Chain A
Amino acid sequence: MTPASVDTSAQGIATRASQSLTRAVMLDGSDLFCERDDRILFEHLSFTVTEGQVLQIKGSNGSGKTTLLRILCGLNDSYQGSIRWYGQALEAQVEEFYGTLLFIGHRVGVNKVLTPLENLRWTCSLQQQVADAELYQALAKVGLRGFEESQCFTLSAGQQQRVSLARLLISDARLWILDEPFTTLDAGGVSLLEGLLRSHADAGGAVIVTTHHELRVADLQQMTLG
């Protein structure tokens, strides 16, 4: 697919999903190299993520999983190699990329003095207009009904993680990059997140996730670092 024909609307995702055979390569990296403190984290690393695919990154502690994710997001630029977004150099289209990227890092981006509602409202409002009703609905779906107005420092780590997961329900981002999203979740949270990953992939979106959890999704690709 040529970059010019990339349809950025959500309907575009749906149409592409229905023609599953012609799924485009969303993000690909080739010959990535990263060194930290004179230690090579990875070299000659190449991967492709197509629409509708979940890329699971595994590797032992300290093998560079988080660093790789941060490089893909553009938060870390100490690497060599090329990353392309729909076939074109990522650096040339950063704004468009950020418009459709959802990143949840190791630190989930939930302010402790704000309530889940206020946190969600702000993070979502950086990308798209959201009505309050939708925020309440999303929080209820991730199991935070009744906690919408409590300050986040009163919530457990798992609940704070759920606040960030509520973004997945609201956002129409096509690429999700999630760093260890399962760590603090209970069994219910794990199956909720798995369901979200599945439906996102079914709708033609792509996910890059670091976890050691066994993912049950249709189009799963695994990559091991280190």
Chain B
Amino acid sequence: MNKQRVSTGQAFRATLQRDLLIAYKRKNDMVNPFMFFLIVASLFPIGISPDSERLAEIAAGVLWISALLASLLAMDNLYRADYEDGSLEQLLLSPHPLYFMVLAKNIAHWLVSGLPVVLISPLIAYMLNLPSESYMTLFVTLLLGTPVFSLLGSIGVALTVGLGSRGLILAVITLPMSVPVLIAGTLAIEQTSNGASLGGYLAILGAMLVASISLAPLASGAALRISVN
């Protein structure tokens, strides 16, 4: 009956697989943020002006804000089901560092809610008449920025998962933390279209990503412990 212990890597993979499997079985959760992104971004031409010159001006900001709101919308179901059915307790009681377990959940969550938004963004950019030389910049900066949104959002969700009525509190916690990413992302697109080099902005966004990968799961883990207390 003496079975082999599991390495942290294996537990990480098992958790990642489980969350992807759950997402696959709950397809509407997967499609929601994606559809939300699509709809919000298409409201701007309707609400502001279909004039292509003016759209081109605001396109970068619209895309980034829509991506941020879509990520916020998807955040709530990161820990809620696990909290309600007790799986979260099992995760907290695993003999592995909570950092890696939380990171696995965050990665799975970004893969199903963040990545589709990034992939579809060039299409929306075309609709909003973003200058075509900025497509690559948009894609790359979103690729670096949306995981930061997910990782930061995870802290907010972990803090609020135990509350009965969450309402807007998640947005109040998360959105201010996301502002630097939003600034860096939109500036990158704006400045590179004026001839600035992309390198510096990518370095800043990359640094934000690295910092949030290394620190945010620790904060989420601590917040989860408080929430189940």
Contacts and interface: CB of A to CB of B under 8 A. Distances in A.
Given A10-B2, A127-B6, A128-B3, A122 B228 contact: no
B86 interface: yes
Interface string B76-109: 0000011011110111111110000000000000
Contact of A126 (B84, B86, B96): B96
B1 interface: yes
Contact of B229 (A78, A95, A109): A78
A11 B1 CA distance: 8
A74 B85 contact: no
A95 B15 contact: no
B95 to A, nearest CB: 4
A114 B90 contact: no
**Chain B contact residues: over half helix, strand or loop, or mixed?**
helix
B15 to A, nearest CB: 7
Contacts of B194: none
A123 B14 CA distance: 9
Nearest to B84: A107
Interface stretch (B18-26, B38-46, B172-180): B18-26
Interface residues of A, number: 37
A110 interface: yes
A78 B225 CA distance: 12
B21 A118 contact: yes
B100 to A, nearest CB: 11
Contacts of A151: 25
B85 A111 contact: yes
Given A74-B93, A98-B93, A127-B95, A9 B2 contact: yes
Contact of A113 (B5, B26, B86, B89): B26
B25 A113 contact: yes
Given A101-B93, A108-B86, A114-B22, A125 B229 contact: no
Contacts of A118: 18, 21
A105 B4 contact: no
A73 B89 CA distance: 10
A10 B82 CA distance: 31
Contact of B81 (A10, A106, A111, A125): A111
15 contacts: A75-B229, A76-B228, A96-B95, A98-B95, A103-B90, A109-B89, A110-B85, A110-B86, A111-B82, A114-B18, A125-B10, A127-B5, A129-B4, A129-B6, A172-B2
Interface of A: 9-11, 73-78, 95-96, 98-99, 101, 103, 105-114, 118, 121-123, 125-130, 151, 172
Interface of B: 1-6, 10-11, 14-15, 18, 21-22, 25-26, 81-82, 84-87, 89-96, 228-229
